[in-house]
Amino acid sequence: MKKAKITRENLPRKKFNVQLKNWLILVAEDEPVTQRLIAKNLKDWGYEALVVADGKKALEIFRRRRIPLVILDWMMPHLSGPDLARKIRTIDQQRNTYTYIVLVTARNKIQDLAEGFKAGADDYITKPFHPLELKARLQAGIRIISLERQLLAYQKKLEKLATTDSLLNIKTRRQILIDISSELARGERENQTVGVIMFDIDHFKKINDTYGHPAGDIVLKKIARQLKKNIRKYDQIGRYGGDELIIVLPKCGIADVTHISQRLLKSVARLKIRLADKTVLRPTLSGGATSSEVFSHPTPQSLIKTCDQALYQAKTKGRNQVIIASRPYSLKGVTHG
């Protein structure tokens, strides 16, 4: 059988799947007949409907729950449809979400419709309406909400790819520098200090040379994972380059950094890394650490430079130890005992 030629056009693509059922829809409609009609139809079409008779109640519910679609009557007690739409848009902005808003109205003057859209409505339906029209409009809304969610998910994925080291699954150098910068800014606002540790694997070249690059990769990955496991949730870890790792410790002064770096050093020294040929490796780290506490004008560069110099001392003093820089470039030795 002749095989179809693969071209850009017939490459398999991820399907854009839209689930039309089970969506949560908030309905604010004070007129009993229309309210019943909408509620019954939504249920029949497989939606979960929250139905209220005034705008204020609808707003309360909307604030408490994450609702992707709302149907709002124009005229309601306490809060009109357009007023509620405006409030929903403000909440959307704060939450970084998008709600699809359909206004139900007896008005059909072009000025009224323009006002409804200006208030934030995505669509409108004029009373009296046929249920199939409502269904079609809701389905259009669901397509848009689904697409928006998919785009957000892609955006998150791309962001993660751009800021994560693909081998070690920790932050990239660029990102960790950004993190130090934002932690310093936050520290200044909140009068808090920021600790930084730079670790470098001891004799890593020898591991690569003796057991091969893939074995070196395994060692790097295990060490990064071990460090990540042993830091707090709001600490950050990144790859500065090669076998150099950086840890950012918000709210840490010199005393905390000393304690934490010792703990991390020991946790890695405890690792026994078994290779495919059953060889067991026991890698160690050297580190240099400091805290913004001892700087009059801390910057990511000055912290890193100080850590780097302290790390250099740790290497020359025999490795498997951390040197704490208690002043910029003035170094006090602390060893792993």
| Closest separation in Å from C-beta 219 to Mg ion | 11
Using rule CB under 5 A, residue 200 touches Mg ion: yes
Please report, to the nearest 10 degrees, the dihedral formed by the alpha carbons of residues 289, 294, 300, 303 taken in order: -30
202 vs 293, beta carbon nearer ligand GH3: 202
Strands 236-241 and 244-250: antiparallel
Using rule CB under 5 A, residue 199 touches Mg ion: no
Which one of Mg ion, ligand GH3, none is in contact with 208 (Cβ closer than 5 to 8 A by kind)? ligand GH3
Q: Which of 30, 112, 243, 256 is catalytic?
A: 243
Which one of ligand GH3, Mg ion, none is in contact with 216 (Cβ closer than 5 to 8 A by kind)? ligand GH3
Instruction: Return residues touching ligand GH3 (CB under 6 A).
Output: 167, 200-206, 208, 213, 216-217, 220, 242-243, 315, 319
Which residues lie closer than 8 Å to 70 by C-beta, 6 or more apart? Answer: 25, 26, 27, 28, 58, 62, 88, 99, 100, 101, 102
Using rule CB under 5 A, residue 243 touches Mg ion: yes
Using rule CB under 5 A, residue 207 touches Mg ion: no
| Closest separation in Å from C-beta 270 to Mg ion | 19
Confirm whether 54 is a catalytic residue. Answer: no
**Burial state string for 213-234 with b = 16 or more CB within 10 A and e = fewer than 16:** eebbebbbebbbebbbebbeee
254 vs 285, beta carbon nearer ligand GH3: 285
Which residues lie closer than 8 Å to 27 by C-beta, 6 or more apart? Answer: 35, 38, 39, 42, 49, 50, 51, 52, 70, 71
127 vs 315, beta carbon nearer Mg ion: 315
**Spatial separation of the C-alpha atoms in residues 294 and 306, rounded to whole Å:** 11
| Closest separation in Å from C-beta 97 to ligand GH3 | 39
Using rule CB under 5 A, residue 287 touches Mg ion: no
Hey, which residues does 27 pair with through a beta bridge? Answer: 51, 71
Q: Name the token pair of 237.
A: 């870890």
Q: Contact with Mg ion (CB under 5 A): which of 201, 247, 257, 285? A: 201
Residues at the contact surface with Mg ion, assessed by CB under 5 A: 200-201, 204, 243
Residues annotated catalytic, as ranges: 243
